[in-house]
Amino acid sequence: MKNIQKPVYITTKDFLVSGESFQLVYDSNFKMLVTTPQPAVENLSDYYESDAYISHTDSDKGLLPFLYQKVKQRALKKKVQLITKLNKGCGSVLDIGAGTGEFLKVASEKGWEIQGAEPNEKARAISEQKGIHLKDSYSKFSNQKFDVITLWHVLEHLPNLHESIKAIENLLKPGGTLLIAVPNYKSFDAKFYKEFWAAYDVPRHLWHFSKESMVKLFSEEIQLKKIKPMIFDSFYVSLLSEKYKTGNSFSLRAFWIGLWSNVHAWSSKEYSSHIYCFKKASKAN
C-alpha cells in the first residue's frame, strides 16, 4: 500500500535562531498543522538559545520586550483571577512551562499552593531568584495530583504530543481544571502574514492548533467548558510578524492588523490565541 502524503499548508522558517526552513503539514485527523521536519528531542534546546527569546527572560530592553512585559503584568493578574474563579477558590496549581516563574509568583501571592516545571536552565535560575523553585520536567510530579494545571503557550512546544497530553491528564485531580493557551492558525493575523506569522515560531512550535484540534486531542474525561480570547496577542504577534516581513521594529500597520484581527474575530470567533478551559470528570459516586 502506498503512503498517502499529507498536504503542505505553508512553508516558513526559523526567524529567531537558525534561519532553517520548515513545512507545516496538515493533519486531517486532528485538524492541526505539524512542523516538518521536527528536530530530535535532544536538539530542541539549541533552537531556544537566543537572548531574543522573550519567554525565558524578564528583560524589557527594546520596544517589543517592553510592550510584552507591560502587557504581561496585567495578563498575569487576569490569569490568576481566572483559575481562582474556575476552581471556586484557591488550591494547588501546577504550571507547565513556567518560564521565569512570574505566573506562579502572582498565584502564590494570592494564596495558591504552587508547583512548576521549566526545562530551560536559565529561566529556572531567574525563577529561583524570586523564590520560585521549578523542576526541569513535569514528569517529576507523576506521584501528585493538582486542582489546576496550566500551560500558557506551552502545549505547542511539547514533543511526543499525545503521550504528553495523556501524562498531563493523569496529573489532574477528578473535577480539576486544565487551562491551555495556544495560538490559532485560523486567525485573521495568521492568514494575513502567512509564512511570516510570528506565532508559527518554527521549530520551537512543533504543533499548530485550531479550535477543532483542541476538542479532538483530549480524552473523553477532559471536557471543554469555555474558550476565552487573548485580545492582546494579535497586537504583539502582528508587531513581531511585521518585523520578520519588513525588518521594521515598529509599524503602525501591525497595530492596525492586530486591531482588525480582533474585530474580525467578533464574528468568526477565530482570535489570534485562545485560552481553553477544560474540566476533568469527577469520579462516579
**Is 1 part of any domain?**
no
Does residue 230 belong to any structural domain of this protein?
A: yes
What is the DSSP pairing of strand 172-183 with strand 146-152? parallel
Position 69 scores a pLDDT of 60
Please give the residue range of the domain that contains residue 95.
8-280
253 within a domain of the structure (yes/no): yes
Confirm whether 285 is domain-assigned. no
**Cα dihedral sign, 97-102-105-109:** negative
Q: What is the pLDDT of residues 20-41, one digit of tens each?
A: 999 999 999 999 999 999 999 9
CB 169 within 8 A of CB 219: yes
* In contact, 177 and 87? CB cutoff 8 Å: yes
Beta strands at 32-36 and 92-96: parallel, antiparallel or unpaired: unpaired
List, run by run, the mean pLDDT of 10-residue segments along the chain (285 residues). Answer: 67 96 97 97 91 58 60 85 97 97 96 97 93 96 96 97 97 98 98 97 98 96 97 94 90 93 97 98 70
Q: For position 249, what pLDDT does the model report?
A: 77
What is the CATH classification number for the domain harbouring 58? 3.40.50.150
Report the alpha-carbon distance of residue 48 to residue 149 in Å, rounded.
Answer: 24
The DSSP symbol for 158 reads -
pLDDT in tens, 117-170: 999 999 999 999 999 999 999 999 999 999 999 999 999 999 999 999 999 999
Cis status of the peptide bond prior to 203, with omega within 30 of 0:
yes
Residue 183's DSSP bridge partners are 273
Residue 280 and residue 173 in contact, taking contact as beta carbons nearer than 8 Å: yes
Please indicate, yes or no, if residue 121 is contained in any of the structural domains. Answer: yes
pLDDT reported for residue 2: 47
Q: Max Cα separation, the chain?
A: 60
* pTM metric for this prediction: 0.92
Give DSSP secondary structure letters for 108-120: HHTT-EEEEE---
